Amino acid sequence: MKYSEISHFSHPKHKLRFEHNEFPFKCDGCKEIGIGSRYKCSICDYDLHTHCAIPSTTLFHPFYTKCTFQFMQIPPGNTLRYCNACEKDVNGFVYHCKSCGFDLHPCCAKLPMVLNDGEMKLYLHRKVSSPCHRCGRKGRSWSYRSNCKSYNLHVACVREMLVENWYNLYMGHGKGSSRKLEATIPSLQNTLYAAHNCRGSRGSKGKKVKKCCEIAGFAVQIVISAVLGDPTTLIAGVVGALMSRA
């Protein structure tokens, strides 16, 4: 449920208003980057993912059937903690299971189990047997896998790419940069082409593999928007792009 304006315990001075645009931001709750929908205090330049602004008190996840995750403003204890979904550090808001010690970033905890743009379905897996198209490794991070089982992408790798581009394109220009989403999404085209050994492909085979890589690139964009906290941000554009190439 979305509210146009809310009061939030983390920012009691002013109310936060719901807004949606394509400019990247750093969430002041979980300290992770985001795009699309957010709750914002324009006076203080304070932003929250929608998942951080309206969290669940308790959360259950199908990957951890014996766990009960509690929402916390700060990570428990004095030791460094990491998210069990993306394997990145936890520096702010978190869902924590006291009995198992597992932690999930709010946006990771709410990642859709299935992403569907009408052309391709991507399923979230706790572990996959095939290597990631970004890093080439299997790893322990959650992964999105296409229904054709041809494409795998670690949630951790998506976050890594976003952080790299965040510092290069956004933080380098100061908060409030005019750089839009298109400038922050890293390209995996070279990685995908290399994975399919298609740099030297010609004729119908080369065209087929090129089309295959293009679709995989769109799948990557959908995963990126989900990890950023708003899985609807890019889907409309992705569907349009796919239709234009049909």
Query: How far is it, in rounded angstroms, from Cα 69 to Cα 74?
Result: 14
In contact, 49 and 38? CB cutoff 8 Å: yes
**What mean pLDDT do residues 121-130 have?**
86
Please state the separation of Cα 10 from the chain's center in Å: 23
Q: Which residues contact 213 (CB under 8 A, 6 or more apart)?
A: 189, 192, 193, 196, 198
Instruction: Give whole-number Cα distances, 223 to 65, 110, 114, 116, in Å.
Output: 24, 13, 10, 10
Query: How far is it, in rounded angstroms, from Cα 176 to Cα 37?
Result: 16
- Specify the pLDDT at position 61: 97
Query: How far is it, in rounded angstroms, from Cα 94 to Cα 65?
Result: 18
- Which range scores top for mean pLDDT: 91-95, 115-119, 131-135, 159-163? 91-95
Residue 226's φ and ψ, nearest 5 degrees, are: -70, -45
- Specify the pLDDT at position 1: 54
| 3 state SS of 221 | helix
With 80 as the cut, is the pLDDT of residue 228 above it?
no
**Where, residue-wise, is CATH 3.30.60 in the chain?**
58-109
Q: What is the DSSP string of 59-118?
A: EEETTEEEEEEEEESS-SSSS--B-TTT-PBP-S-EEE-TTT--EE-HHHHT--SEEE-S
The fold of the 58-109 domain, in CATH, is: Wheat Germ Agglutinin (Isolectin 2); domain 1 (3.30.60)
pLDDT tens per residue across span 187-219? 444 444 444 444 444 555 455 445 555 555 556
pLDDT tens per residue across span 168-179? 655 555 444 444
Instruction: Give whole-number Cα distances, 207 to 146, 148, 203, 215, in Å.
Output: 21, 19, 6, 12
Please state the separation of Cα 75 from the chain's center in Å: 20
**What mean pLDDT do residues 58-64 have?**
96
- Specify the pLDDT at position 195: 47
Query: How far is it, in rounded angstroms, from Cα 136 to Cα 154?
Result: 10
